[in-house]
Structure 1
């Protein structure tokens, strides 16, 4: 088992990726830390189905690979969410199809013995694309203003990967769970 976080992520089409990166850059220009400059600086725009605190990477990869592949995921981001500890995110609409897909991933990875972070447990999960990291409260309104300047964002997830959040290393998945 590993003590580093591993995420099962949906990754976006080039247009969506570019739009989120443009937003990250605008926030950074205003002194607001984003995933662009966070930790290893290899973060990519994404939506996480699950974040695991302890896991066996090979078992998790096999469990996710065994899930039936689905079509590309159309998402609509039209809200900004403020989480505790200065985290802001674009909030995606919680469609039943998206919730069902996330539930299947969460179930598959927990059956491997992995410890699923409680924010990603079905019924608690909030589908989002992270923007800020550790931002002081005085800057969150500025972050929200920047986000609302580009919303709504029609997005599409076109691929998936396991991502080691401590290094940014990606293990592409063969299908889209």
Structure 2
């Protein structure tokens, strides 16, 4: 599958996003709550590697300075191909710069990045539905609009294998 550098939220932010997932699941819209191994966490991915060597990635990411937590605001939703929907994250220029540093570190570690996480191509988002049908998009839009505006706090970071849910917490937030 893939290995992501994920930003994880404080308990309140985690709870609110899980509530959106639960509401959507109740409407029959598949979310990360039940996707694949069912161990997904609400998160914002800085970068996603499709090919990697774990030890090298861990070494390069661990060498990055701890830049600390920050708030992320959401004011809308995104609809991607194949029925994927997400909360659209509004980030500062500083957070975008941090993402580019993380993406460069993964590349320096020999990892191949997914094209949507390459420097200059990042679309910051928090995944909601994994396979929403066209007729279900209004349900997603209603669930999202009922939760907006939303501000969550990034409280920690981890490397997460999307195929297994295995995670390696990071000492700081790059």
Task: Give the TM-score normalised by the residue count of structure 2.
Answer: 0.98
Q: Does 1:165 align with 2:162?
A: yes
Q: Deviations over 1:123-167 (max 9, x none)?
A: 111110000001111101211111110011111111000000001
- Could you say what secondary structure the match of 2:156 adopts? strand
2:141 — aligned with what?
Answer: 144
What residue ranges of structure 1 are gaps of 5+ in the alignment? none
Task: Give the TM-score normalised by the residue count of structure 1.
Answer: 0.96
Q: Does 1:101 align with 2:95?
A: no
Instruction: Note the C-alpha offset of 1:94.
Output: 2.9
Provide the aligned length of Structure 1 versus Structure 2. Answer: 174
Residue of 37, 43, 49 corresponding to 2:34: 37
Runs of 4+ in 1 over 2 A off after TM superposition: none
2:115 — aligned with what?
Answer: 118
Q: Does 1:56 align with 2:48?
A: no
Alignment RMSD, CA only?
Answer: 0.7
Q: Distance in 1 between matches of 2:70 and 2:79?
A: 24
What residue ranges of structure 2 are gaps of 5+ in the alignment? none
Q: Distance in 1 between matches of 2:91 and 2:155?
A: 18
1:72 — aligned with what?
Answer: 69
